[in-house]
Amino acid sequence: MKRRHLIVAVATLPLLARARGRPLVEVWKSPTCGCCKDWIAHLEANGFASKVHDTGNTGMRGRLGIPVALGSCHTALVGGYAIEGHVPAADVRRLLAERPQAIGLAVPGMPVGSPGMDGAVYGGRRDPYDVLLVGRDGSTRVFTSYR
């Protein structure tokens, strides 16, 4: 009987997160990726709730319509939008506030200095990168630039 209660409790976590005003970010990643874990921690520290699938992200990236060329190490879904890679929480919040007609946001590759790629191991290095808004036709435009 205790197992059934645990299953019910885990299944209701997304509902509780939304009820408390914390947008739920569902993430697909490799079970061994440390930078993905750091990105999730960044989102949680910035008011998001998370649900993580340690199953890899290639299949989900394709299902959500993110072009392969924009790929990174994790794919997420929040508020009906795809989030690919190390997108800062502020940009996810802006996306949810503005609600553009788009698939979502992407930070291709794994730029050093982006959330999750900014740990002590990088010695404070920050490479420039763009957060791209991915249109429904697969086109992109710069949503935010980090220099």
User: What are the pLDDT tens digits along the chain (147 aa)?
Assistant: 444 443 334 444 444 445 478 999 999 999 999 999 999 999 999 999 999 999 999 999 999 999 999 999 999 999 999 999 999 999 999 999 999 999 999 999 999 999 999 999 999 999 999 999 999 999 999 999 999
pTM here is 0.86
- Binning the chain into helix, strand and coil, the percentages to the nearest 5 are 35, 25, 40
Give Cβ neighbours of residue 126 (< 8 Å, ≥ 6 apart): 112, 113, 118, 146
SS3 31: coil
